[in-house]
Amino acid sequence: MPVRLPSAFSPPGTTTPTEVLPAKTEGERSPWLHVVDRIGDFWIVGVLGLMILVFGVLNSELYTKGAWLSISNYSVEYLLLAVGQTFVILTGGIDLSDGAILGFSGMVSGWVMQGMIDSHVDNNVLTTVVGFAVALALGALIGFVNGYLITRLKLPPFIVTLGSLTAVGAGPALINGGTEVSTLPPQIGSIGTGAIGGWIYTTFLIAVAACVLFGLLLHRTRFGLRTYAIGSNGLSARRAGIDVDRHLVRVYTISGLLAGLAGMMVMANFNVASPLSGQNDELDAIAAVVIGGASLFGGRGHMLGTFVGTMIISLLVTGLVLVNVNGSWTEVATGIIIIAAVALDQVRLRLAER
């Protein structure tokens, strides 16, 4: 009987036929499979450590506070997007719209806060809270719409989120005449520039806290277990009584929510809401998740890997600058690492079928 693997290019709950082979017992498993499983779990940590060593040898400034602040600050928006993307990819889907959601939610939030200030609302704390609420609610709403269209209309995630990327991506240019919103409460700038002990930006701490919180949701709750089950085999998950459609809507809502939070972090970092924020960020977020060991077929991945994958990309950017290498090589190196990560996953799958 054929099984079907979920795909971002297929409607949710459908699969691609493939040959079913008899399950192997633990004693019959290929020894190479054990090796590849272990490598698949930890090779990215080794890559990160090797990069730190190599860039540090080439330029010892990598080990300074300034370099660390640069790396961590660069990683904030990509980490938040990648956390949401992890849930989506684990279900066998993909979200191409989270970069656009970041930019749009940030612009709308900045526009609302500017309107409150222009209306002589003197409570800057209230204005900041409203700004955050607007960005989070708008991001979650767009994510919900993505999930609803995917599940109710049975449309492929790739098509739905590509449409959202196009539609939502045009939104920032329609707000505030397509110009930056710079009239913001001082608390926004304080969040972006504040550093605990001079070493940890507040925005980075928020991103890490979100990563830990949603990592616990993924690895320690039934919600996470159902996420893995849907990605491993959506049809079996339905037969097991999981409401796959409802769960997918929640997953895409989480992705949108975190994109909205990322929009606020970018705004805090630059102390302006820019219509250019978030452009192509979804590609780096997807890259971070894949580099972190998640399978694009769904059902395999973990939040620690996503964190390490994000730091690898951030380290690449800062490291190449420190050694005076053209920044375009960042994309080249990232592409090579992505191919290696996907190739390792495919080798693992083939060995598992033997």
How far is it, in rounded angstroms, from Cα 138 to Cα 259? Answer: 10
Q: What's the pTM value of the predicted model, to 2 decimals? A: 0.88
Q: How far apart are CA 78 and CA 252, in angstroms?
A: 17
Both tokens assigned to 119: 């209306």
Per-residue pLDDT of the chain (354 residues), as tens digits, is 344 444 566 666 554 444 434 444 444 555 655 555 555 556 788 889 999 999 999 999 999 999 999 999 999 999 999 999 999 999 999 999 999 999 999 999 999 999 999 998 889 999 999 999 999 999 999 999 999 999 999 999 999 999 999 999 999 988 888 889 999 999 999 998 888 888 899 999 999 999 999 999 999 999 999 999 999 998 999 999 999 999 999 999 999 999 999 999 999 999 999 999 988 899 899 999 998 889 888 898 999 999 999 999 999 888 888 888 877 777 787 788 778 777 777 776 676 666
CB 234 within 8 A of CB 12: yes
CA–CA distance, 258 with 141 (Å, rounded to integer)? 11
Coil, helix or strand at residue 93: coil
Domains, the chain: 47-348 (1.10.3470)
Q: Tokens representing 84?
A: 């949401």
CB 6 within 8 A of CB 237: no
Q: What is the three-state SS of 99-113?
A: HHHHHHHHHHHHHHH
> What's the confidence (pLDDT) of residue 353?
62
Instruction: Give dist(CA 71, CA 337) in Å, integer.
Output: 18
Which pLDDT belongs to residue 326?
77
